[in-house]
Amino acid sequence: MTMTTIASITLPTFYDKTRNLNNLLDWMTRATQAGAELIVFPEQVLQGYLPDTLSWNREAVAWQIEQAEVIAKGESVQALQKLATQLNVHVVFGMTERHPERAEVLYNSAVLLGPSGVAGVYRKVHQPGDEKHIYYPGSEFPVFTTPLGRIGMLICYDKVFPESTRELALKGADIMIMPTAWGYAGDGSQGDADPMVDSYTLFGRVRALENQCWMIESNLCGQHGNLHYHGHSRIIDPLGDIVADSGTTEGMALASVAIQPAILRARSSDYLGYHFLKDYVPMQAPPSPLTVHNRHAQPLGANNE
């Protein structure tokens, strides 16, 4: 049976791109030494996430505009790619992506690097709060074929919407990867009793189970701006069971798993023999009357594949 070792890393992030990059490079090496073939990092871990999601901040906008990188040309991306090639690993990390032709157009993106180059890019579709003032939304959920399996990505708030992961699963994703900046509701003093930790756990386990495929989550930790992050980077199996958890501080969730056999069992015998995707009946739901933007009307870089 072929086993794949996955590492999901919990990290703090800073408004210091060089420091963040060095942390990523260091953890790539450490995870590879532990046997990892797929390494996952949090949302916006390269440039740092917003200081808050509920108040517009001029300095935060200026920082993201200044620090954004075009993926094909960015010095930080090239440094990460060089090490991914040397270590022969696949890596997913979150960053602020600059549109290659329009410098003012930014995306909250997850980048998938393989040993031979960029294997995929996902631009966050669902944007909460003040993300709308900085980033353009993505418009699709692509799936990328790799030697480790078919990988689909989502970012943070996307996890709230079941259509996000269902689309990935219907497109054949074996592994759903979610970089996130998922904070406590408060200052973190409640620990795991904080309601946002509970919702994070609930969404992650359900999204894995309802699609009967793997879910890999990577979260920030510590205070960043005005927000406090709880970590709990996780590897969740196709039955919704948490296989590995990093804990609440900087660290690594590590597990060697049989990707395809676990999916096959989940969809054939492990859950009363029910195969949810086979039994799924697509329903055409009307758009929400509260929708602020039309996801199909994005003229800039709408095709991520």
- Residues 15 and 23: their CA atoms lie apart, in Å, by 13
DSSP state of 34: T
| Residue 9, helix vs strand vs coil | strand
Ranges in the chain, pLDDT < 50: 295-299, 302-305
* Strand-strand pairing, 175-180 and 214-219: parallel
Alpha carbon dihedral 254, 273, 144, 41, in 10-degree steps, equals -20
Active-site option among 17, 37, 43, 131: 43
For residue 130, CA distances in Å to 11, 188, 217, 298 come to: 23, 22, 23, 19
| Domains contained in the chain, CATH given | 4-279 (3.60.110.10)
Among this protein's residues, is 131 annotated catalytic?
no
Q: Per residue in 10-41, pLDDT tens?
A: 999 999 999 999 999 999 999 999 999 999 99
Among this protein's residues, is 156 annotated catalytic?
yes
pLDDT reported for residue 291: 65
Residues β-bridged to residue 90? 38
Active-site option among 131, 156, 213, 221: 156
pLDDT reported for residue 27: 98
Among this protein's residues, is 124 annotated catalytic?
yes
pLDDT reported for residue 179: 98
pLDDT reported for residue 290: 74
Angle between helices 195-211 and 162-170 (to 10 degrees): 30
In the chain, which ranges are E strands? 4-10, 38-40, 90-98, 106-114, 117-123, 143-146, 149-153, 175-180, 214-219, 221-224, 227-230, 234-236, 242-245, 251-257
Active-site option among 69, 124, 131, 213: 124
| Residue 52, helix vs strand vs coil | coil
Instruction: Tell me which residue of 26, 25, 53, 39 sits closest to 182, measured CA to CA.
Output: 53
* Sign of the CA dihedral with 30 first, then 32, 33, and 34 last: positive
Q: Per residue in 64-116, pLDDT tens?
A: 999 999 999 999 999 999 999 999 999 999 999 999 999 999 999 999 999 99
- Check: CB of residue 81 under 8 Å from CB of residue 113: yes
